[in-house]
Copies of this chain bind each other. A is one copy, B any other.
């Protein structure tokens, strides 16, 4: 008998009929002799509807109150699912985030899980219950309700799986798993049967829409395999796990891309210690997440420093950076919001220079100008003109023959 944590998203429980479908899937898992913990999102567009209601009441709704309000969405779906299972003859109980012991800090609307106190969940499992936990929510030390922000329910599921020592955390959603590239861009993209945590993290952008990165990070930290599969089909899905990075497979897993980036270049920066800190500390303080950073070797004691961020952060970043550029006597700051990112992902990729060459050749053949290059152990990223990203993804998918089997 295994302990399995399953997570179902909002589209999987959008109405009464879909909740019944989900209940049948859970029942089948139980029938196979497993203990089952289910983490559930709010039904369909419930969360959006509640947010709209809040903004009818207040120009800037209190985050504390908004968290309590939004938490009701997952509570509703969890009780409906528990009722359905009981009606089908299965012992089941719903638990709120607080009851399931999801303890968080008090950063309302974006709380982090501090600890999972799973006593109650274990007790309910031991009495034979299928345990349905309201996702996306937790509780502070003062027993105030918090929500976990984006990717919250995924994170609840992996955190519960870790604390319970579950065999696997299964995430059911409206896609069939992780593909070698975004299938909306590359129709011939192939569904991966498995992928490593690190590779999955590097798939950010496309990948994050399937499983939130916080959940993948947590899965890696506690070594919980995460299965991503469709709740509308019986296909096996993609297993995200730690195996891939242990046996270095030296192959390209997929092509990731991100259109939501902008670029700032600080030109003519004096090359001396402390300059990078002087630039990036104020950006961090302003809450701006800097993505790729590239600094060239200096010539005549000056260098150029380029970095990227989300498009929405560009104007704030320029506001922060311009006075600093003056202070450190840089020549100027140039911003560009019409850029995008394309990456080739795979284990051991960096130790095989052939991959980089193949990537650059493929881009050059499509007439794509590479503006920045950044690499990691398992990724080669190029910043290119935004308009060329989609074509570049398709070209790279072909160049690495990803449409053919593993």
CB neighbours of A50 from chain B (8 A): 76
Q: Do the beta carbons of B80 and A64 come within 8 Å of each other? A: no
Give min CB distance, A16 to chain B, whole Å.
4
> Are A57 and B143 also in contact (CB < 8 A) when A66-B83, A76-B72, A93-B64 are?
no
> Are A53 and B87 also in contact (CB < 8 A) when A75-B68, A79-B65 are?
no
Q: Does A84 contact B (CB under 8 A)?
A: yes
CB neighbours of A75 from chain B (8 A): 68-69, 71-72
Partner of A99, one of B56, B71, B83, B143: B143
Interface centre among A57, A72, A143 (most CB of B within 10 A): A57
Q: Do the beta carbons of A80 and B99 come within 8 Å of each other? A: no
Closest to A19 in B: B57
CB neighbours of A65 from chain B (8 A): 79-80, 82-83, 86, 93-94
B-contact bits for A118-144, CB 8 A (1 contact / 0 none): 000000000000000000000000011
Q: Do the beta carbons of A79 and B84 come within 8 Å of each other? A: no
Partner of A83, one of B57, B76, B94: B57
Q: Do the beta carbons of B68 and A79 come within 8 Å of each other? A: yes
CA–CA, A59 to B83, complex, Å?
9
CB neighbours of A59 from chain B (8 A): 87
Give the interface size bracket for A toward B. Answer: 35 or more
> Are A53 and B80 also in contact (CB < 8 A) when A58-B86, A60-B87 are?
yes
> Are A66 and B86 also in contact (CB < 8 A) when A19-B57, A56-B16, A99-B143 are?
no
Closest to A61 in B: B83
CA–CA, A78 to B53, complex, Å?
13
Partner of A79, one of B69, B87, B98, B143: B69
Q: Does A395 contact B (CB under 8 A)?
A: no
Give min CB distance, A99 to chain B, whole Å.
6
Q: Do the beta carbons of B94 and A57 come within 8 Å of each other? A: no
B-contact bits for A145-185, CB 8 A (1 contact / 0 none): 10000000000000000000000000000000000000000
CB neighbours of A87 from chain B (8 A): 57-61
CA–CA, A69 to B19, complex, Å?
15
Give min CB distance, A134 to chain B, whole Å.
9
CB neighbours of A60 from chain B (8 A): 87
Give min CB distance, A92 to chain B, whole Å.
8
Q: Does A251 contact B (CB under 8 A)?
A: no
Q: Does A54 contact B (CB under 8 A)?
A: yes
Interface centre among A20, A76, A98 (most CB of B within 10 A): A76
Q: Does A62 contact B (CB under 8 A)?
A: yes
User: Given contacts A50-B76, A59-B87, could you give 15 more A-B pairs where the C-beta distance is less than 8 Å?
Assistant: A54-B80, A58-B84, A58-B86, A58-B87, A61-B87, A62-B86, A65-B83, A65-B86, A66-B79, A66-B83, A68-B75, A68-B79, A68-B96, A72-B72, A98-B143
Enumerate 19 A-B pairs (CB-CB under 8 Å) in ascending A order: A16-B56, A19-B57, A20-B57, A54-B80, A57-B87, A58-B87, A62-B82, A64-B93, A65-B80, A65-B83, A65-B86, A68-B75, A68-B78, A68-B94, A68-B96, A69-B76, A69-B79, A71-B75, A98-B143
